[in-house]
């Protein structure tokens, strides 16, 4: 049985619910990979261990748009990675929902997946930039996100600092955004503040694909997609692969999965830092 990732490459839940629901009902997803190769992924419920959804907006799932919620109920376990950086609706994430709107979805999302341990909030990435001559960051918005997550019963919160690819830097410049990349020492200091905030609220803080942050007390190296955890949470406790996913970055701790998204499915969140394919 395989773990399905939907998706690192685009926000299928927010923008492609009809395609996602139809693929689930058909028991098959046709995937256009980054190299241009096309293949089919088996989505029959008996072939799927867990269905992992990555999104900044779960309203289509919660409102059963295009029958998405019904289609996903065929699977034994849904796990949700919910990205809320506090920057929705700003020049950094112009198409993402505002933080308050997104966080209001947490109670219903937990009810939908059946266990608060099946939801992880991703305060990812932490971004620094200059605007009108003043340094800006979402670092101070973590407290509100952490408070809402803890209040809803979420245990795990994940973070990393923005890693600027060449195309993301060019995108930022084209939008008139002057990005900053702080030193490693400053990032460690900032992560320590986040760890203290998380600990006060009983949250576990995980650092995504940035091993140097594991030197910070209270910060654990993340596997956002964790086969061991998915096995533990599975209704029948069925095992899932715990082998490292070699298709991800060297410092990524995620275990093996089949991603069914495509970079050809452009993402209208249009986040300036995104390594994928924002629609504008």
In total, how many domains does the chain have? Answer: 1
Which band of pLDDT confidence, cut at 50, 70 and 90, is reported for residue 121?
very high
Phi, psi of 270 (to 5 degrees): 55, 40
> Which structure tokens are listed for 144?
């509100």
pTM of the full structure: 0.96
The pLDDT value recorded for residue 49 is 98
Which band of pLDDT confidence, cut at 50, 70 and 90, is reported for residue 279?
low
- Could you report the per-residue pLDDT of 195-240, keeping only the tens digit for each? 999 999 999 999 999 999 999 999 999 999 999 999 999 999 999 9
Residue 65 lies in a domain: yes
Residue 158 lies in a domain: yes
> Which structure tokens are listed for 130?
């200059």
Q: How far is CA 194 from the centre of its chain?
A: 18
Residue 163 lies in a domain: yes
Residue 276 lies in a domain: no
Residue 151 lies in a domain: yes
Strand partners, 157: 121, 205
What percentage of the chain has pLDDT greater than the value 70?
A: 99
More confident residue, 276 or 100: 100
For β-strands 156-161 and 28-32, DSSP reports them as: unpaired
Residue 253 lies in a domain: yes
The pLDDT value recorded for residue 230 is 98
Residue 116 lies in a domain: yes
The pLDDT value recorded for residue 276 is 78
* Average pLDDT of the segment spanning 246-272: 94
* Average pLDDT of the segment spanning 262-270: 94
Residue 9's nearest CA partner among 269, 271, 265, 270 is 265
- In the predicted model, what is the mean pLDDT of the chain? 96
More confident residue, 6 or 275: 6
Which band of pLDDT confidence, cut at 50, 70 and 90, is reported for residue 277?
low
pLDDT beyond 80 at 42: yes
Domain that holds residue 224: 2-259
* Average pLDDT of the segment spanning 245-270: 94
* Average pLDDT of the segment spanning 244-251: 92
Which band of pLDDT confidence, cut at 50, 70 and 90, is reported for residue 72?
very high
- Could you report the per-residue pLDDT of 154-194, keeping only the tens digit for each? 999 999 999 999 999 999 999 999 999 999 999 999 999 99
The pLDDT value recorded for residue 275 is 83
The pLDDT value recorded for residue 278 is 67
Q: Are the beta carbons of 125 and 273 closer than 8 angstroms?
A: yes
Residue 265 lies in a domain: no
């Amino acid at each position: 049985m395989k773990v399905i990732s939907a998706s690192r490459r685009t926000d299928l839940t927010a923008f492609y619910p009809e395609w996602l629901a139809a693929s689930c009902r058909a028991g098959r997803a046709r995937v256009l990979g980054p190299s241009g190769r096309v293949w089919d992924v088996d989505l029959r419920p008996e072939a799927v261990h867990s269905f992992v959804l990555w999104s900044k907006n779960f309203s289509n799932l919660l409102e059963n748009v295009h029958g998405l919620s019904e289609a996903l109920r065929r699977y034994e376990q849904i796990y949700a990675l919910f990205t809320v950086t506090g920057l929705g609706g700003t020049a950094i994430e112009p198409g993402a929902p505002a933080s308050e709107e997104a966080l209001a979805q947490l109670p219903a999302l937990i009810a939908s997946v059946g266990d608060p341990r099946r939801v992880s909030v991703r305060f990812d990435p932490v971004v620094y930039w200059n605007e009108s001559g003043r340094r800006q960051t979402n670092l101070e918005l973590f407290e509100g996100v952490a408070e809402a997550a803890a209040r809803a019963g979420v245990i795990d919160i994940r973070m990393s600092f923005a890693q600027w690819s060449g195309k993301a830097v060019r995108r930022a410049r084209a939008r008139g955004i002057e990005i900053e990349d702080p030193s490693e020492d400053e990032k460690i200091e900032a992560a320590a503040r986040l760890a203290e905030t998380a600990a006060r609220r009983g949250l576990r803080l995980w650092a995504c694909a940035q091993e140097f942050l594991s030197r910070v007390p209270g910060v654990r190296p993340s596997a956002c997609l964790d086969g061991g955890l998915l096995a533990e949470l599975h209704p029948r406790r069925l095992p899932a692969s715990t082998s490292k996913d070699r298709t991800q970055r060297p410092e990524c701790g995620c275990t093996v999965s089949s991603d069914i998204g495509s970079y050809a499915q452009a993402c209208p969140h249009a986040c300036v830092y995104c390594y994928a394919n924002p629609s504008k």
